Amino acid sequence: MKKLIAFDLDGTLAESKQPIQPEMGTLLKQLLGVAAIAVISGGDWPQFETQVVAHIPAGSDLSRLFIMPTTGTKLYRYENEAWHAVYADVFDAAERKTIIDALDKASAEAGLNDSRTWGDKIEDRGSQITYSGLGQEAPLDAKKAWDPDFAKRKKLQAILQTMLPDLSINVGGSTSVDITRRGIDKAYAIRRLSEVIGIAAQDMLFLGDAMYPGGNDYPVKAAGIDSIAVRDVAETRSVVSAIIACLK
């Protein structure tokens, strides 16, 4: 019997960067009545607050909801009527400086410093440092047009990997490159969650829309955790309805 259902966020529970819809909120409330829930995504806590936490209907059992920002390098849970960070595996000051210096050098070397930008290019999420080629506030059209074939980011990734051999450098989103400690993926998130809350990984079920090799949900499946690939948010709703019917 599964005790916890874990979800990817973008493309699974909600459209990319959008809040969950009311129907999904209602389903999650019902699911919290029969199981614990974890949500894992690369975004930081404020992103989860606006996309998920603010849209869980009143009366839901929030004590069973686990929020895992920045690919599970942080865990938040609801206790004593407020959300708290349970842990955060953050970079220390020296690591952070090394990474930011490398990003400055590598982006110049890759020839990426000449385009127009919107907002800061480097975002420090504590346990993940994200480089956004056009800045964090760039409009969607500009972002989509910037590096459609991944060539710019792959070049940057290759340069960074030689400068930061002990870290993990991943291409993500439409303009971004994420830097984390090695071995940080959603399988790491599930292992870490299992240790901290004491629910065994075999009692968990994971749903995600990127369950193909190379997709950011694939490591969970590859680690042998029961996983369901969903096509989109509508399919997630169907699967969640079935899970609720089976568990209640």
Instruction: Name the residues that contact Mg ion, by CB under 5 A.
Output: 8, 10-11, 209-210
Non-local CB neighbours of 185 within 8 Å, separated by 6+ positions: 71, 216, 219
- Check residue 10 and report its DSSP letter: B
From residue 74, give the alpha-carbon distance in Å to each of 45, 70, 85, 186, 189.
Answer: 9, 6, 7, 12, 9
Comparing CB distances to Mg ion, the nearer of 10 and 147 is 10
Residue nearest to Mg ion (CB): 11
Beta carbon of residue 41, minimum distance to Mg ion (angstroms, whole number)? 7
- Check residue 237 and report its DSSP letter: H
Beta carbon of residue 236, minimum distance to Mg ion (angstroms, whole number)? 10
- In 3D space, the residue among 76, 67, 78 whose CA is nearest the CA of residue 41 turns out to be 67
Comparing CB distances to Mg ion, the nearer of 27 and 112 is 27
Beta carbon of residue 178, minimum distance to Mg ion (angstroms, whole number)? 14
- In 3D space, the residue among 246, 227, 217 whose CA is nearest the CA of residue 10 turns out to be 217
Beta carbon of residue 8, minimum distance to Mg ion (angstroms, whole number)? 4
Comparing CB distances to Mg ion, the nearer of 10 and 178 is 10
Place of tokens 């009692």: 203
Comparing CB distances to Mg ion, the nearer of 21 and 98 is 21
